[in-house]
Amino acid sequence: MVDAEDLLKVILVLVLIWIALEIIGEILGALFGPFNSILGLLIAVLIILFLLDRI
């Protein structure tokens, strides 16, 4: 049986992980903001080339 206190600890850890991921996302968004679409396009091209055995 799961105790209510244990459940609250799990929820607290998940919320802290969520907040940390949001902060990291904001930092990376500020650093790579202008290059977001170019970076995504480059990754897509690399995946397509890999799947076509061109790399």
Block means of pLDDT (10 residues each) for the chain, 55 residues, are: 83 92 85 73 86 76
- φ/ψ of 53, rounded to 5, equals 60, 40
pLDDT for 19 equals 93
Q: What is the DSSP letter of 34?
A: G
- How far is 49 from 44, CA to CA, in rounded Å? 9
- How far is 54 from 7, CA to CA, in rounded Å? 50
How much is the pTM?
Answer: 0.56
- How far is 6 from 16, CA to CA, in rounded Å? 15
> What torsion do the CA atoms of 47, 48, 52, 54 make, to the nearest 10 degrees?
-70
pLDDT for 6 equals 83
pLDDT for 55 equals 62
Q: What is the DSSP letter of 35?
A: G
pLDDT for 31 equals 78
